[in-house]
Amino acid sequence: MRLVKQNFHTHTNFCDGANSVEEMTQAAIKCGLTSLGFSSHAYTPHDESYCMKLEDYEKYRDEVLSAKEKYKSQIKIYLGIEQDYYSVPPTIDLDYIIGSVHYVEKDGVITPVDETREHIENAVKNIYGDIYTFIEKYYQTVADVVNKTNCDIIGHFDLCEKFNGDGTLFDRENPRYINAYKKAVDQLIPSGKIFEINTGAMARGYTDFPYPHKNILDYISKCGGKFIISSDSHSVDTVDYKLESVYNYASTILNLNLITK
């Protein structure tokens, strides 16, 4: 019997996912999930390449609600959204919001954190001066994500790890890095919001560990944070990617406070 029966971070072809609401629902049922939350990327005016179009919000809601009705005897479906720090506020009623930081802004220049390693290296060279200044700005933005997006779940807390799987982009033991993430955790903990453990970068072959990295998980846990595991799936073959093994890792090894329902 599976341990993790839910996934609340799911993309479709309404944003940068490969499959439809219907296909993702069927895939979730097939792999034994009993709850599925859709979290299309909310519209970000400065970057339309990966997100939902503003004019599609109602269509997205209607498709999710019709799948909810059609498959109600097999799976519980929830209507959510992944709000970026720079997204416009939602225009439809939602069951929940994931709040995520995908960009860092300085002097009017917005740099994507998860697009390519080159984007980060160029921004460091031309704007920030060193990687830790970039990362400090990233975590300052993350620290404000609940306030800005009114989210229920804090998405992929250390997205800056995406291109650091081999540890060569920055050093996790650097005191500036540690201080930056601790400050963000300290600021977010009083909100009581749930931190996400996200296997998305593992599914795409970038890292062999979920977000957040173990050091950060330990710190959030020590501060009393709650967690939810999700796959951040963009296609039918990754709906439940590593949810079981990460659950074992997170609950047995780290003894975390996990929300599984």
Footprint of Zn ion (CB under 5 A)? 82, 100, 232
| CA pair distance 116, 153, nearest whole angstrom | 25
Residue 241 Cβ vs Zn ion, minimum distance, rounded to whole Å: 13
Counting beta carbons within 10 angstroms of the beta carbon of residue 67, is it exposed (0 to 12), middle (13 to 18) or buried (19 or more)? buried
- What Å distances lie between residue 31 and 27, 28, 54, 259, CA to CA? 6, 5, 32, 20
Q: Which is nearer to Zn ion, 38 or 134 (CB)?
A: 38
Residue 97 Cβ vs Zn ion, minimum distance, rounded to whole Å: 12
Only one residue has tokens 């704007």, namely 127
Give the torsion through C-alpha atoms of 190, 225, 99, 39, to 10 deg: -140
Q: Which is nearer to Zn ion, 85 or 134 (CB)?
A: 85
Q: Which is nearer to Zn ion, 47 or 129 (CB)?
A: 47
Residue 1 Cβ vs Zn ion, minimum distance, rounded to whole Å: 27
Residue 170 Cβ vs Zn ion, minimum distance, rounded to whole Å: 20
Question: Tokens standing for 136?
Answer: 């400090």
Q: Which is nearer to Zn ion, 26 or 100 (CB)?
A: 100
Residue 24 Cβ vs Zn ion, minimum distance, rounded to whole Å: 13
| CA pair distance 21, 138, nearest whole angstrom | 32
Contact (Cβ atoms closer than 8 angstroms) between residue 84 and residue 104: no
Q: Which is nearer to Zn ion, 82 or 240 (CB)?
A: 82
